[in-house]
Structure 1
Amino acid sequence: MLDDIDRRILRQYQAAPDEGHAALAARCGVTATTLARRLDRLRETGILKATRGVIDWAVLGYTVEVSLRVTLDKSMPQAFDEFLAAAREVPEVLEIQTFLGQVDVRLSVIARDLSHYQALYRDRLLALPHMTDVEALMHVARLKSDETLPL
């Protein structure tokens, strides 16, 4: 599926996604035409999904980050669907993950400060449907945050 050139392109692209095609092609040891053709193929096959802008929420004033581990009422057939639909409507919920096991869902939530989080928790998050238990874990430090693959 991937050859050595594809892996080299993906490694270099992960390292500097905003670099121009000519510079990226030079770092990969291919022509700009070859690079463009291979990037198009990687996009078409779904391997390369997007180029994203990563925003530092703390710089914008969101200094509190909390993970909520939620257990849902599994006796209700629509519990997951209704909970997920409602959670998606809360702008401060950045990420929603589902699990098998004791915890059903994890929400990653940001807030400007503790006062904002308290209001958000009380008014929006506790109002999400079908929750039977919720545990809040306050983030203290992010020690590693890396989405690059070892290609």
Structure 2
Amino acid sequence: MIELDETDRRILRALVEDATQSASALGRKLGLSQPAVWRRIKRLHETGVIKGQRLDLDREKLGFGVSVFLGVKLATKGRVSLDDFERAVSAIPEVQSVEHILGVYDYRLRVVARDISDFERVLRRRIMTLPGVGDVEANVLLSEERRPGPI
């Protein structure tokens, strides 16, 4: 674990809110020079604290009005079935995330679809036919509020 001072934390909180801010804008906001902010951000990247930057797309505006979390329990366990399942599920474009979890289910998937009938098609034709799939539980997302974790 890397040691972060309060300035590093303030920079990270500001970047979590808006990662497109320039070093000079952040410097003005935090009372630091542009080079000082740039050096700190560079160090946070180099040490792996900042892993990358992503776009946060509005799925509904792109035509994907339904998000579903699927709990997937594999029918067979073993290294081969895990690898086969992960490889196959990662190739499905509607599957936005694949998480290997501990609990009742082996995996949690986030699946997007245009509507419920489109989701049913993805579930029946793509997900249920994957290697090793046993039990599946679907939870339709009603609303979402993103809250960044503590820094």
In the alignment, residue 94 of structure 2 is paired with which amino acid?
A: E
Q: Say if 2:72 and 2:107, in contact at 8 Å, map to a contact too.
A: yes
Q: Spell out the pairing of 1:1-151 with structure 2 (5 A cutoff).
A: 1-142=3-144, 144-146=145-147, 148-151=148-151
Once superposed, which parts of structure 1, at least 4 consecutive aligned residues long, lie more than 6 Å away? none
Q: TM-score, normalised by structure 1?
A: 0.92
* Paired residue total: 149
Q: TM-score, normalised by structure 2?
A: 0.92
Long gaps (5+) in structure 1:
none
Q: Say if 1:12 and 1:28, in contact at 8 Å, map to a contact too.
A: no
Deviation, 1:28, is 1.5
Identity of aligned residues (%): 36
Mapped to 1, the partners of 2:79 and 2:9 lie a distance apart of: 44
Deviation, 1:44, is 0.2
Structure 1 vs Structure 2 CA RMSD: 1.4
In the alignment, residue 22 of structure 1 is paired with which amino acid?
A: S
